[in-house]
A and B are shown apart, each in its own frame.
Chain A
């Protein structure tokens, strides 16, 4: 079946512009995650959704970052007034349940964001 789909795969934007990144999780997966991968660094947790609610937003770097999820399906990560330090690969993952070991994370291919 279809895996986690992210769009766009690449995005180049000018500093100060807003961007929206989209994630389509695997159908039926209740949990959805956003991670950020900077060059040479580990994945950085951003936010976790269980259904449409986000019990943990602690990883969002600033109030320029927001995310929502609708219909227990698609999620959108929005970055307002982008800065050069926002350049990274943004990865989305979904899992059947919220508990990690018995419900492995399935990752999308990511969106590579470049802020010029």
Chain B
């Protein structure tokens, strides 16, 4: 089936690390994604990871993939106020279709 789950809310203090978790169900997913949605804006691709990788790092972002447990996480180091947004986890269903989670609202407090 196509079911991506993630926690709905995360509050983090400025300068701390944020970790957003996601579980997915389709073991045949080739790619897994993290998208960011700022208020009033469309979704923006942050990063993605190929299913044969365990980890991907891109500046302040670290993606960890546990394929056995179908668990994906996004770590944001040194979280800033500009990181406040909704973060969506998504898995590829086929060559063109993605299945998205409900999104995690991250609030960064001073």
Q: Which residues of A contact B (CB under 8 A)?
A: 3-4, 31, 33, 35, 40-43, 45, 48, 50, 56, 91, 93, 98-101, 104-110
| Contact among A41, A100, A106, A108 with B102 in the assembled complex (CB-CB below 8 Å) | A41
19 further interface pairs, Cβ-Cβ under 8 Å (given A42-B103, A100-B97, A109-B42): A33-B96, A40-B102, A42-B101, A43-B43, A43-B88, A45-B99, A91-B42, A93-B42, A93-B43, A98-B95, A100-B92, A101-B50, A101-B92, A105-B43, A105-B45, A105-B98, A106-B42, A107-B43, A109-B41
Q: Tell me which of B50, B100, B101 has the highest count of chain A C-beta atoms within 10 A of its own C-beta.
A: B100
Contact residues in B for A106 (Cβ distance below 8 Å): 42
A40 touches B8 (CB 8 A): yes
Q: Contacts A42-B88, A42-B101, A101-B48 hold; do A108 and B95 have CB atoms under 8 A apart? A: no
Collect the chain A residues with CB atoms within 8 Å of residue B106's CB: none
A56→B96 contact, CB < 8 A: yes
Min CB distance, A12 to chain B, in Å? Answer: 17
Chain B residues contacting A35 (CB-CB under 8 Å) are: 100
Q: Does B44 contact A (CB under 8 A)?
A: yes
Contact call B42/A4, Cβ cutoff below 8 A:
yes
Minimum Cβ distance to chain B for residue A50 (Å): 8
- Contact at A99–B96, with CB atoms within 8 Å? yes
Residue of B nearest to A43 (CB): B100
Structural contact, A42 and B4, CB atoms closer than 8 A: yes
Q: Find out whether the CB atom of A99 lies under 8 angstroms from the CB atom of B88.
A: no
User: Could you give 30 example pairs across A and B, Cβ below 8 Å?
Assistant: A4-B42, A31-B96, A35-B100, A40-B8, A40-B102, A42-B88, A42-B101, A42-B103, A43-B88, A43-B98, A45-B97, A48-B97, A56-B96, A56-B97, A93-B43, A98-B96, A99-B96, A100-B95, A100-B96, A100-B97, A101-B48, A104-B45, A104-B48, A105-B43, A106-B42, A107-B42, A107-B43, A107-B44, A108-B42, A109-B41
